[in-house]
Structure 1
Amino acid sequence: MAYDYLMLYYVYEKPQLFDYPIQSVRKHILNVFAMGFLFFLWIVAYTIYKTTTQIKNNKMDRMEIENTLKDSQLNALKGQINPHFMFNCLNNIRGLILENPEKSREMITRLSEMLRYSLAKNEITTIVLEEEIEMVENFIEISKIQMEERLNFTSQIDKNTLKLQIPPMIIQMLIENAVKHGIAKLKGGGQISLQTTLKHNNLTILVVNTGILTIDKDSTQLGIKNIEKRLHLIYGEKASFKLEEIKNTVIAKIIIPIL
């Protein structure tokens, strides 16, 4: 009986003696849950970090592969230019050797200057437009040696465009195409005009020549395809190339974004 009164006394009068062990257990349990929750958060954070890092690395690897492939494709396309241009010029020189040796020598000199230029720029994706214009002028002089008065060339070059970057030989190929498929087929010859303008952060290159838009049966259209592929590889959908005929005049128009 005395024991019962003693227990009642401790329960009601000294409850802290019984609460202490319970609070200690609760505290330990809460600590275990807290540690577990923190460990769970660490696992989640680590998983997110590793996943993000892996995605980033995969993206960088994919971009590196794409850039390497793009460079390889561009180099292959640039490799098509020299043989194509050489073939046309050597044919012209062959026709002049017996007829006019002096002009043929001048033609060879200008051709060597152009080849030196193209070799120097072979590993470059873009050049300043001013350098390309010099290339075009050499090509025009070579063509005039053969066609004489049948070829009339004019240009309107916006001074603000001279230092802008463009793919090498892209204008020269347009001019070459105009001479070969336009002026050369006209008995009385014709005119080629080159114009560059800068508007709304876009460079517009316009080549207009007398003639009609025809595609020879045996033509590979190498120059046109080359231009289209290089523009797409460098600028994607931001650049455009259009070739059309309006009233016996062929118009080639290239629009390039200023990067």
Structure 2
Amino acid sequence: MEALKTKAELQAIQSRINPHFLYNSLNSIASLAINNPNKTRTMALSLSEFCRFAINKNNEHNILIEDEIKMVGSYLEIEKIRFENRLNFSLKINEDAKKKSIPKFIIQPLIENAIKYGFNKTSNTCNVQLIVEIENNGILIDVIDDGSDFPETPICGYGLQSIYDKLEILYGTKAKINWTNAPIKKVSVWIPITNS
């Protein structure tokens, strides 16, 4: 019964896609369709690819990091069309980490949050960096941006709440999520490596 309850809770979390992201993407596609059919096509295909990952037909809760990165790539392609040269991103993924398994939709909400709150008010640009490493027999995920500092109690929006919920269900107190403003602004998630 406990296993079934956990599975149901995970399925409920997993089925969520941020509706604001979908609305913004579809509105951008509608706007582009008038003047830029090539960008419209690229954005629509990227959104389709992202939704293919998001709609979990096999009810799988874990994903290889390299596959999660592909999903993040589809998401970033959409956002890059929306924000053009105001958005820059870089990925640094440890080769050994790529074949490790993590809960699905851990990295993408972190990136989404960084883009939402990471725009530099002076330059009106957003620079996001994703670093994934193996550390202390776990997976360390860092998402860095150069926006304004986190408040003392960061806003826990749609995506971050799903991460908190998922980590608590799967790992209890074993997984960790924290944020810092100095020496760099970043959100870090550490997940223990398991055999599943």
Residue 210 (structure 1) shift: 1.3
1:130 aligns with 2:66: yes
* Structure 1 ranges of 4+ moved more than 2 A: 81-102, 183-188, 243-247
Instruction: Report how many residues are paired.
Output: 191
Residue 89 (structure 1) shift: 2.3
C-alpha spacing 1:232/1:205, structure 2 compared with 1 (3 Å): same
CA RMSD of aligned residues (A): 2.3
Q: Report SS of the residue matched to 1:80.
A: coil
Bigger Cα displacement from structure 2, 180-189 vs 151-160: 180-189
1:106 aligns with 2:42: yes
**Residue 163 of structure 2: which of 227, 232, 235 is its match?**
227
1:171 aligns with 2:98: no
1:209 aligns with 2:133: no
1:258 aligns with 2:193: yes
**Residue 246 of structure 1: which of 176, 182, 185 is its match?**
182
C-alpha spacing 1:110/1:162, structure 2 compared with 1 (3 Å): same
CA distance in 1, matches of 2:156, 2:191: 25
Identity of aligned residues (%): 36
CA distance in 2, matches of 1:81, 1:184: 26
Q: Report SS of the residue matched to 2:185.
A: strand
1:192 aligns with 2:132: no
C-alpha spacing 1:114/1:155, structure 2 compared with 1 (3 Å): same
C-alpha spacing 1:117/1:66, structure 2 compared with 1 (3 Å): same
Q: Report SS of the residue matched to 2:124.
A: coil
**In the alignment, residue 115 of structure 2 is paired with which amino acid?**
V
**In the alignment, residue 102 of structure 2 is paired with which amino acid?**
I
Partner of 2:5: 69
Which aligned pairs between 1:53-64 and structure 2 lie closer than 5 A? none
Give the structure with the higher percent helix: 1
Structure 2 unaligned blocks of 5 or more = none
Q: Report SS of the residue matched to 1:68.
A: helix
Does structure 1 conserve the Cα–Cα contact (< 8 Å) formed by 2:118 and 2:127?
Answer: no
Structure 1 unaligned blocks of 5 or more = 1-64
Q: Which has the higher contact order (CA 8 A, sep 6+)?
A: 2
**Residue 26 of structure 2: which of 90, 102, 111 is its match?**
90
For normalisation by structure 1, the TM-score amounts to: 0.67
Does structure 1 conserve the Cα–Cα contact (< 8 Å) formed by 2:120 and 2:147?
Answer: no
Residue 101 (structure 1) shift: 3.2
For normalisation by structure 2, the TM-score amounts to: 0.87
Partner of 1:81: 17
